[in-house]
Structure formats: structure tokens, C-alpha cells
Amino acid sequence: MTLKKTLSGLALAATMAVGVTTSASAQDDITIAAVVFQQDQFFRTIQMGMNAAAEAAGIELLEGNSKSEPQQEISLIDTYIARGVDAIVISPVSAVASIPALKRARDKGIHIVTYNSNVDDASIPVSYLNSAQRDLGNSTGMLAADFISKELGGKANVATLGFRALLPEISADRVDGFIEKAEEGNTLNIVSQQDAWLAEKAIQVAGDIITANPDLNIIYAANEGGTVGAVQAVRNAGKVGEIFVFGVDGTEQLVGFLLDGDNVLQAVTAQQPYVMGQMAVEAAISAIKNEPVEAAVIVPVLGLSRTDRPAVEEFQAYLRSLK
């Protein structure tokens, strides 16, 4: 799918979403709670989309951050149950541990919409919105396969940064999807697979991997924070031009890295967090109004490579237009 088609499709989705919310404007007594689990640019952009949908609908949106802590998430959900919100839109911390609190909310008649991550109980969410996780890994992996073939002679020592301790299934899909495609036509030596999803931690973990593996060629990071940290670690280690980073997410910072002349970050696959957040609130409003809601919605992803600078610049302009 081309960038222009993808962006035009996203614009259409956003327009359709606003059209739905406008029809709900008379129902200004609706209250929706929106919960993220960390405050990186990805989740901030999701919140921007949620706020846009809520503003267009004239509804109250309560915002909470579980900070990746199950107990904090439980506390937030119980607070929203006591508050009597109409819906909770949430990226659950755990597929299993998040179930009891969300079930309590559902049993109180609160509509649950999940996005980005889900729970292992299909009866809880009325809708789940997400990128196809393996597609995120596959897309970056295909871009890496081309790079390894052309620039590294078809062989590479590879390290990965995931988030198995946080969301094991999603992390596995992204990492395994990357390796699956990157090794097509190439020979990969996986030297290290670690967890590091926040930038500060990823700088440390990637730095340690670099020190332990002087012949390292590629670092793949499965989320925004890991990608940012991997790029910084390569720079800190003085390995610019020797180690190349591939990642996930399409934030302004990562797009800027793709446009930098240091040639560290080679490619990412962007999710569409603004549209995801907007559509998640739309789904909650539809559920509250007893309108049909899709049980599963896949938001498209988009591969971005420094070899296609015009496409990266176009995506950068798109991101800036959301502010």
C-alpha cells in the first residue's frame, strides 16, 4: 500500500469518525474514561485522537495512566466504577491480570473498549482496536532483509529488544515477525534477545549488548522506547556506521532519526495511534448508544525507510498536521 493511499484512508476514517461523534453531541451527559499505561509519544498521540473524538461529540473524557502497574490499573478502574462512567477505553496492562477489574466494570453495565493490548476474555470488550502485531514485525523485517542483502552481504549479527515481561504475546509477534522476514535470503546470527521498552532502560540494555558483541550489525527494537534507546546507545558507543537500528512506531522523534544524516536508524513501521485513539472513543460512544460496534478493528500500519526520504517527509507532515 502506498503512503498516499494509506494517509488518504486514514483521513477518511478520521472524517467518518467525526461524523459519528457529531451525531452524539446532544448526549453531553456521556462520560468515558480513557486509560493508557505509559506516557511516551505513541500513547500521547492516542490521547490526542481520543480527545478529538470526545470534543467533537461534546462528551466528558476522563484520562488516567496506569504506569504499567497492575495495582494502579485496578485502582483507576474501581474509581471509574464508583464514578459511574458509561465506558472505559483502555490498553490493559495484562491479558490475564486485568480481567477481574474489567469484569467488575462490565458487570456494572460499563462498556469496555480495548485498544493496543487486550484481555484473554472475549466477553469483556465490546470492541478491540489494534495494529496487526505480526505485520509490524514483518514490515520492518522486509525492509531489514533488503538492507542486509545489499549492505551487509547477506549476513548479520542481530540483537532484539522486546517487551515480553509486559505484553508477551504482542512482543513475540513483533520480534518473531521481524526475524521471519529479515532472514529471508539472508543468514542471521541472533546474538541477544532482551527486554527494554522504555528509552532510558533501552539505552542501558542496548549499550550492554553492544559491549558484549563487538561484531554486532543490527539492533531491532519492537516499540518506540526501545527504538529510541537503541539509536542513542549506538551513538553513545561510537558505533555510527557500524551498527544499524530497525524499529517500530512512527513518532516525530523516530521520523527525525530517519531523516538524520548519521545513518543509524534505517527503517520503522508506523502504527496509527491518533486514528486508533479516535476510533476507540467512537466505538465506546456507539456501544453506549446501542449502535452496532465491530468486535475487532485492525488499524493499518506503514513501513518507512530512510531510502525513501519523500515518503518519510510526507509522513512527518501528516504527524504535524494532527496538532
In-domain check, residue 323: no
Residue 26: pLDDT band by 50, 70, 90 thresholds? very low
Q: Which of 39 and 55 is assigned the larger pLDDT? A: 55
- Is there a single domain that holds both residue 45 and residue 109? yes
- Is there a single domain that holds both residue 55 and residue 105? yes
Residues 170-224: tens digit of each pLDDT: 999 999 999 999 999 999 999 999 999 999 999 999 999 999 999 999 999 999 9
Residue 28: pLDDT band by 50, 70, 90 thresholds? low
- Is there a single domain that holds both residue 123 and residue 252? no
Q: What's the chain look like in SS3?
A: CCHHHHHHHHHHHHHHHHHHHHHCCCCCCCEEEEEECCCCHHHHHHHHHHHHHHHHHCCEEEEEECCCCHHHHHHHHHHHHHHCCCEEEECCCCCCCCHHHHHHHHHCCCEEEEECCCCCCCCCEEEEEECCHHHHHHHHHHHHHHHHHHHCCCEEEEEEEECCCCCHHHHHHHHHHHHHHHCCCCEEEEEEEEECCCHHHHHHHHHHHHHHCCCCCEEEECCHHHHHHHHHHHHHCCCCCCCEEEEECCCHHHHHHHHCCCCCEEEEEECCHHHHHHHHHHHHHHHHCCCCCCCEEECCCEEEECCCHHHHHHHHHHHHHCC
Residues 100-155: tens digit of each pLDDT: 999 999 999 999 999 999 999 999 999 999 999 999 999 999 999 999 999 999 99
In-domain check, residue 150: yes
Q: Give residue 232's domain range.
A: 133-270
In-domain check, residue 312: no
- Is there a single domain that holds both residue 179 and residue 287? no
- Is there a single domain that holds both residue 153 and residue 213? yes
- Is there a single domain that holds both residue 183 and residue 248? yes
In-domain check, residue 99: yes
Tally the domains of the chain: 2
- Is there a single domain that holds both residue 87 and residue 124? yes
What average pLDDT does the segment 222-241 reach? 97
Q: What is the CATH number of the domain that holds 282?
A: 3.40.50.2300
- Is there a single domain that holds both residue 141 and residue 254? yes
pLDDT greater than 70 at residue 14: no
- Is there a single domain that holds both residue 151 and residue 174? yes
In-domain check, residue 66: yes
**pTM (two decimals):** 0.79
Residue whose entry in the numeric block shows the C-alpha cell 507532515: 317
Report the candidate in 26, 44, 25 with the shortest Cα–Cα distance to residue 34: 44
- Is there a single domain that holds both residue 194 and residue 106? no
- Is there a single domain that holds both residue 161 and residue 250? yes
pLDDT greater than 70 at residue 256: yes
In-domain check, residue 167: yes
- Is there a single domain that holds both residue 116 and residue 155? no
User: What does the pLDDT read at residue 3?
Assistant: 53
